[in-house]
Amino acid sequence: MINLAYRDIADGFGRYLATALGLGLLIGVTLTMAGVFRGMVDDGKALLRASRADIWVVQQDTLGPFAEPSSLPDEMRRGLLALPGVARAGNVAYLTMEVSDQGRSVRILLAGYEPGAGGGPEYLVAGRPILRPHYELVADERTGFALGDRIHIKRHDYTVVGLTRGLRSPAGDPVVFLPLKDAQQIQFLKDNDAIFREKRRLAGNPLFNPPSNPALLAAIEANQFANHRVNAVLVRVLPGYDAHAVAAEIERWLRLTAYTDEQMTTILIGQLIAMASRQIGLFLAILTLVSTAIIALTIYSMTQTKLKEIAVLKLIGTPNRLIAGMILQEALGLGFIGFIVGKLAVTYWAPLFPKHIVMLPCDTLSAAGVTLVICVLASLAGIRGALRVPPASAIGG
Partner 1 sequence: MGSAAIRVENLSKTYGHGDSAVRALKRASLEVQPGEVVGLLGASGSGKTTLLQCIGAIIDPSGGRIRLDGKTVYDNGWKTTDRRALRRDHIGFIFQRPYLVPFLDALENVALLPMLQGRSDAKARRRALELLTRLGIADRATMRIEQLSGGQQQRVAIARALANRPPVILADEPTAPLDSHRALSVMSLLYEVARDFGTAIIVVTHDENIIPLFQRLYRLRDGVLREEAGEGRPIFPETRGV
Q: Which is nearer to partner 1, 16 or 339 (CB)?
A: 16
Q: Which is nearer to partner 1, 15 or 155 (CB)?
A: 15
Q: Which is nearer to partner 1, 6 or 123 (CB)?
A: 6
String of DSSP letters for 240-252? T--HHHHHHHHHH
For the bound state, the minimum distance from the C-beta of residue 145 to partner 1, rounded and expressed in Å, comes to 57
Of 112, 64, 62, 68, the C-alpha closest to 91 is 112
Q: Which is nearer to partner 1, 133 or 390 (CB)?
A: 390
84 DSSP 8-state letter: T
Lay out the site mask for partner 1 across 280-309 (x = CB under 8 A, - = otherwise).
-----------------------------x
Q: Which is nearer to partner 1, 3 or 266 (CB)?
A: 3
Residues 7 to 26: which contact partner 1 by CB under 8 A?
A: 7-8, 10-12
β-pairing, 136-140 vs 86-101, is unpaired
Lay out the site mask for partner 1 across 314-343 (x = CB under 8 A, - = otherwise).
xxxxxx--x---------------------
For the bound state, the minimum distance from the C-beta of residue 298 to partner 1, rounded and expressed in Å, comes to 19
For the bound state, the minimum distance from the C-beta of residue 47 to partner 1, rounded and expressed in Å, comes to 57
CA angle 318, 303, 300 (to 5 degrees): 140
Q: Which is nearer to partner 1, 215 or 395 (CB)?
A: 395
Residues 372 to 391: which contact partner 1 by CB under 8 A?
A: 391
String of DSSP letters for 154-181? TTEEEEEEEEESS-B-TTSPBEEEEEHH
Q: Which is nearer to partner 1, 134 or 308 (CB)?
A: 308
Amino acid at 241: Y
Determine the angle formed by the axes of helices 13-51 and 320-349, rounding to 10 degrees: 50
Establish whether the linkage from the previous residue to 65 is cis, with ω within 30° of 0.
yes
Q: Which residues of 124-137 are buried (b: 16+ CB within 10 A; e: fewer)?
A: eeebeebeeeebbb
Of 348, 367, 350, 340, the C-alpha closest to 284 is 367
For the bound state, the minimum distance from the C-beta of residue 13 to partner 1, rounded and expressed in Å, comes to 10
Amino acid at 348: Y
Helix (H, G, I), strand (E, B) or coil at 388: helix
Give yes or no for residue 312 binding partner 1 (CB under 8 A).
yes
Integer Cα distance of 50 and 296 in angstroms: 44
For the bound state, the minimum distance from the C-beta of residue 379 to partner 1, rounded and expressed in Å, comes to 17
For the bound state, the minimum distance from the C-beta of residue 46 to partner 1, rounded and expressed in Å, comes to 52
Assess contact for 341 and 24: CB atoms under 8 A: yes
For the bound state, the minimum distance from the C-beta of residue 306 to partner 1, rounded and expressed in Å, comes to 9
Residues that bind partner 1 (CB under 8 A): 1-2, 4, 7-8, 10-12, 309, 312-319, 322, 391-392, 394-395
